Amino acid sequence: MALDYRKCAEEIVSKLGGKENVISAAHCATRLRLLIADNSKVDSKALEEVDGVKGMFESNGQLQLIIGTGTVNKVYEEFLAVTGLSAASKADIKEAAASKMPLWKKVLKTPGDVFVPILPAIVASGLMMGLVEAIPKFWPAFGQTDWFSFLDLVANTAFALLPVLVAISSARVFGGNVFLGAVIGLMMVHPALINAWTVGNYAAGEIPTWHLFFFNVQQVGYQGHVIPVILAVLLMSKLEQWLHKHVPEMIDLFVTPLVTVLVTSFVTFTVIGPIFSIFENWVLAGAKWLITVGFGIGSLIMGAIYPLTVVMGLHHMYNVIEAGMIANTGLNTWMPIASAANFAQFGACLAVALKAKNQRTKSVALPSSLSASLGITEPAIFGVNFRYMKPFICGMAGGAIGAMFASWVGFGATTYGVTGIPGILAVNNIPMYLIELVIAASIAFALTWFLWKEDDVGEASKKAPEKVEAPLYKPEKAVIKCSAGEVLQTTPGKVIPHTEIPDETFATGVLGDGVGIQPAEGVVVAPFDGVVTNVAETKHAVGLECNGMELLIHVGVDTVNMKGDGFEVFVKEGDTITAGQKLITFDIDKIKAAGYSDTVCVLVTNSFEYDDMSYPGVE
């Protein structure tokens, strides 16, 4: 059944505590990423129940809702329409979230932020590359055709010029000018520079070198590099922002971009580039070393921790390692590890899908597991496995064993960016790859099947039966009417004009005109469809709003002194309420024992704005 995007967005907004509570919104391949003003206003249980929301979690100061590929962008559009927010750039979200996040997390998060927006390009190209390059294996003649040559060009464009995409995305993340970012990226893969992937063909002395001041800069491009690009654009963005502030406006338009590009380029080629080329090679060497550690132990470790790096958004970084492997040896032995890890998450998620009795859990887990089997694991990890934790850990175990097996057999892929089933076309040993996938998935599946119980789902489903309780008092008649609407009787009992409330403050109408109710039962229900604007810490009063009318419901007189004892409140500030919904319950006897009046005061605090107030319920 097609999802009603509008309805989904509206429900999300209401469960978030209204549009006022949303600072900004962005989305990635599968998730709606929100920055919330007051997290306490968010009804997270209800959010998870919204049709279309596959899961939610908080990370790095952001509230992230898993919606799913192809759907999230549509829900996002409706979300913007409902909230009136403009499309937030990553910079907005990041900047606002940054204040809530320690530095090391910010650093860890950046590559993920940069890569998520360019995922469509990389996923498309990766799949295409896998297919195009696999065909000549079955049909060698195809490799000589114009079609192969053309398709190969189409497929590898995004990877050959990856630094450009990274630079553009980084500029957005860091708040720099996107076009200047593009220039930096383009420069780093400029055709006049020697391609980083073919530089190995040159003898050391043959590589042309610039002598700039006391720097000797080899004229080599940055194909396949990621971190130096991100750093260069980070520097560029900060420099640009600083210059905008300090350069007089009249000359800003030509001075700022000129200085920004010139300085950034110089520092990039002389400092950032050389240092981080070395550093990336270390990372590559470290990972390569790890996976060559004896008897597949390194692969075992890597296969286990791989999904954790997905959670942290670090896995996009591995394209660098994979690209490096292909550049260096032509064989990507990283891919079987990633595949085992991903396919194990598929197995775990499938186990949840088959075992769960809850229809909702099933309906989320099944498509998520299919997506994972194709190598896109985010819905399965965030929407299912990581939420219930046990399946996630079972998946880690499966991934570890699968990766170790792959390392024992010793096969690899000839391309990168694909895992799971499409990976079949990319590997050099299809039978062993299939066995690896089966091992990873079946271990994860079996462990999840036996260890995970649906009770682990958490409070959300446990709480469900509680909703069946004795029918509440149902409000039927209106006690206050004015042009803004009607106020139904909130509490059963005798209705008196506010002037008869046994307290001077209420009686004189200082807090607005309205009625008092001498309660027959200690319950307050919502008198209209509206919003909760205020809840007293002492639980004895709530402020509501509907159509501009502000209503104060104050239980008892001087009951503030009871400090919440004998009162229970069921809503919080920002909640949307419907007429008849339970707001407060209170203990009439306790109020009387404390020596206070139990009169429930229902007052329109802005009654001076209405000249047509009437009180039909007063006896």
Partner 1 sequence: MKSFDYVITDEVGIHARPAGLLAREVKGMAGSTVSIGKTGDEKVVNVLKVMGVMGLGIKKGDSVTVTVEGGDEDAVCAKVEEFFKANF
The CB-of-475 to partner 1 minimum distance in angstroms stands at 21
- Which region, judged by CB under 8 A, interacts with partner 1, from 222-230, 335-343, 429-437, 508-516? 508-516
Query: Could you say which of 315, 316, 540, 554 is catalytic?
Result: 554
Please provide the DSSP assignment of 572-604 as one string: -TT-EE-TT-EEEEE-HHHHHHTT---PEEEEE
The CB-of-618 to partner 1 minimum distance in angstroms stands at 21
Which residues have C-beta within 8 Å of that of residue 344, sequence separation ≥ 6?
A: 303, 307, 394, 395, 396, 397, 398, 399, 402, 440, 441, 443, 444
Q: Closest CB to partner 1 among 327 and 511?
A: 511
Asked if 482 interacts with partner 1 (CB under 8 A), we say no
Do 617 and 494 form a contact (C-beta atoms < 8 A)?
no
The CB-of-525 to partner 1 minimum distance in angstroms stands at 19
Which residues have C-beta within 8 Å of that of residue 198, sequence separation ≥ 6?
A: none
Asked if 568 interacts with partner 1 (CB under 8 A), we say no
The residue within the footprint of partner 1, chosen from 543, 572, 580, 587 (CB under 8 A), is 543
Q: Closest CB to partner 1 among 58 and 573?
A: 573
Asked if 37 interacts with partner 1 (CB under 8 A), we say no
Show contacts with partner 1 in window 230-249 (CB under 8 A): none
Asked if 534 interacts with partner 1 (CB under 8 A), we say yes
The CB-of-540 to partner 1 minimum distance in angstroms stands at 9
Asked if 538 interacts with partner 1 (CB under 8 A), we say yes
Across 547-578, b (16+ Cβ under 10 Å) vs e yields: eebbbbbbbbbebbebeeebbebbbebbbbbe
The CB-of-563 to partner 1 minimum distance in angstroms stands at 8
Asked if 503 interacts with partner 1 (CB under 8 A), we say yes
Do 582 and 570 form a contact (C-beta atoms < 8 A)?
yes
The residue within the footprint of partner 1, chosen from 512, 516, 522, 566 (CB under 8 A), is 512
Residue 294, Cα to own-chain centre: how many angstroms?
A: 38
CA–CA dist 197, 153 (Å, integer)? 16
Give 481's strand partners.
486, 614
- Which region, judged by CB under 8 A, interacts with partner 1, from 156-164, 325-333, 479-487, 535-543? 535-543
Around Cβ 12, how many Cβ atoms within 10 Å? 26
- Which region, judged by CB under 8 A, interacts with partner 1, from 254-262, 366-374, 376-384, 502-510? 502-510
Asked if 541 interacts with partner 1 (CB under 8 A), we say yes
Do 268 and 186 form a contact (C-beta atoms < 8 A)?
no
554 is catalytic: yes
8 is catalytic: no
Asked if 560 interacts with partner 1 (CB under 8 A), we say yes
CA–CA dist 573, 539 (Å, integer)? 12
Binding-residue total with partner 1 (CB under 8 A): 24
The CB-of-84 to partner 1 minimum distance in angstroms stands at 21
The CB-of-550 to partner 1 minimum distance in angstroms stands at 5
The residue within the footprint of partner 1, chosen from 108, 331, 511, 594 (CB under 8 A), is 511
Longest dimension (CA), the chain: 102
The residue within the footprint of partner 1, chosen from 505, 547, 578, 614 (CB under 8 A), is 505
Asked if 508 interacts with partner 1 (CB under 8 A), we say yes
Q: Name the CA radius of gyration of the chain, rounded.
A: 31
Do 177 and 170 form a contact (C-beta atoms < 8 A)?
no
Structure tokens at 216: 């000797």
CA–CA dist 344, 302 (Å, integer)? 13
Nearest to 22 by CA among 8, 36, 38: 36
Query: Could you say which of 8, 28, 394, 482 is catalytic?
Result: 28
Q: Closest CB to partner 1 among 410 and 502?
A: 502
Find the length of the chain: 619
- Which region, judged by CB under 8 A, interacts with partner 1, from 159-167, 250-258, 377-385, 503-511? 503-511
Helices (H) and strands (E) counted in the chain, each on its own, are 23, 18
321: left (phi over 0), alpha (psi -120 to 50) or beta: alpha
Q: Is 79 helix (H, G, I), strand (E, B) or coil?
A: helix
The CB-of-539 to partner 1 minimum distance in angstroms stands at 12
- Pattern 571-600, binding to partner 1, x per CB under 8 A? --x---------------------------
Asked if 39 interacts with partner 1 (CB under 8 A), we say no
Which residues are near partner 1 by CB under 8 A?
503, 505-506, 508, 510-512, 533-534, 536-538, 541, 543, 545, 550, 552, 554, 558, 560-561, 573, 605-606
Catalytic residues: 28, 554
